[in-house]
Amino acid sequence: AQKVTQAQTEISVVEKEDVTLDCVYETRDTTYYLFWYKQPPSGELVFLIRRNSFDEQNEISGRYSWNFQKSTSSFNFTITASQVVDSAVYFCALSEEETSGSRLTFGEGTQLTVNP
Amino acid sequence: DTGVSQDPRHKITKRGQNVTFRCDPISEHNRLYWYRQTLGQGPEFLTYFQNEAQLEKSRLLSDRFSAERPKGSFSTLEIQRTEQGDSAMYLCASSLGQGTGNTNEQFFGPGTRLTVL
């Protein structure tokens, strides 16, 4: 069965610090997709990134970067030079296209607080 | 381009009443999903549609829950005989499914917050 674990329930940092959010997943499929979503205090989930299981290249988008390692079943998310606006709950999610349609299985989320 | 919209945004009801929520997906998206999110948890999958066909339902979706997408556009989620345990945020998402491209990220609506008294 598919499962996503975000062991860090809450993280608090001071502005401009770098912060890494951990995500570990379990799946029996060979084809799967990993996602990160941001949920700010307003409540709406905002898509950040999608990665498929055959593409282990790390990705950087501005201050955001993602490290996908199949060997450890991890898909970690780093925010560089954090800002107060980054404060939100961040969810990692997994989709197994073959065995469970395209539904997303979410982790429990990491509450990130960036203090000025 | 408008995103996913949901109506109502908030609903307060008494236990035992029926409620219905509506979701309008992004217009070109053929897949539509319903999730439920309780406080402090990640969203949990309920059901999804590809066009008008309901392809998967979670075991979370008891007999009191029913969802429809009659013309492959908007969808409704009805909860009959609501219970206090149904109190949650109900999220709708849409995406482009297989055969229409390589993107299947889901875009979420603002949710409907249900409170059952």
Question: Which pLDDT band holds residue B56 (cuts at 50, 70, 90)?
Answer: confident
Higher pLDDT, B101 or B117: B117
Which residues in chain A touch residue B108, judged by CB atoms under 8 angstroms apart?
37, 44-47
Query: Could A35 and B35 be called an inter-chain contact, meaning their C-beta atoms sit closer than 8 Å?
Result: no
Which residues in chain B touch residue A46, judged by CB atoms under 8 angstroms apart?
108
CB neighbourhood size of A113 (10 A): 14
Q: Give me Rg for the CA atoms of chain A.
A: 14
Whole-number mean pLDDT of chain A?
A: 92
Buried b (16+ CB within 10 A) or exposed e, A85-111: ebbbbbbbbbbbbeebbbbbbbbbbbe
CB A81 within 8 A of CB A18: yes
What average pLDDT does the segment B6-22 reach?
97
Cα B85 to Cα B93: distance, rounded to the nearest angstrom: 22
Helix H or strand E encompassing A6: none
Q: Is B70 helix (H, G, I), strand (E, B) or coil?
A: coil
- Provide the CA B106 distance to its chain's centre, in angstroms: 12
Burial class (CB within 10 angstroms; exposed 0-12, middle 13-18, buried 19+) of A116: exposed
Residue A99: is its pLDDT beyond 70?
no
Cα B30 to Cα A42: distance, rounded to the nearest angstrom: 27
Helix H or strand E encompassing B14: none
Which residues in chain B touch residue A107, judged by CB atoms under 8 angstroms apart?
42
Residue type, B6: Q
Residue B92: is its pLDDT beyond 80?
yes
Q: Is B61 on the interface with A (CB under 8 A)?
A: no
Q: Is A48 on the interface with B (CB under 8 A)?
A: no
- Provide the CA A42 distance to its chain's centre, in angstroms: 19
Query: Could B104 and A102 be called an inter-chain contact, meaning their C-beta atoms sit closer than 8 Å?
Result: yes
Per-residue pLDDT tens over the stretch A23-72: 999 998 888 889 999 999 888 999 999 898 888 888 888 999 999 999 99
B83 Cα to chain A: minimum distance (Å): 23
A106 Cα to chain B: minimum distance (Å): 6
Cα B7 to Cα A88: distance, rounded to the nearest angstrom: 24
B31 Cα to chain A: minimum distance (Å): 9
Question: Which pLDDT band holds residue B100 (cuts at 50, 70, 90)?
Answer: very low
Q: Is A63 on the interface with B (CB under 8 A)?
A: no
Q: Is B25 on the interface with A (CB under 8 A)?
A: no
The reported pLDDT for the residue numbered A80 is: 96
Using CB atoms, pick whichever of B41, B45, B103 lies closest to residue A108.
B41
Helix H or strand E encompassing A47: strand A46-52
Beta bridge partners of A5: A24
Residue B102: is its pLDDT beyond 50?
no
CA-nearest residue to A100 within chain B is B56
What average pLDDT does the segment B66-95 reach?
95
What percent of chain B is modeled with pLDDT above 70? 94
Distant-in-sequence, close-in-space partners of B80: CB < 8 Å, separation ≥ 6:
B18, B64, B65, B66
What average pLDDT does the segment B41-51 reach?
93
Query: Could A100 and B35 be called an inter-chain contact, meaning their C-beta atoms sit closer than 8 Å?
Result: no
Q: Which tokens hold the place of B73?
A: 């556009």
Residue to substitute from B35, B36, B46, B106, interface A, most A β-carbons within 10 A: B106
Q: Which tokens hold the place of B77?
A: 């989620």
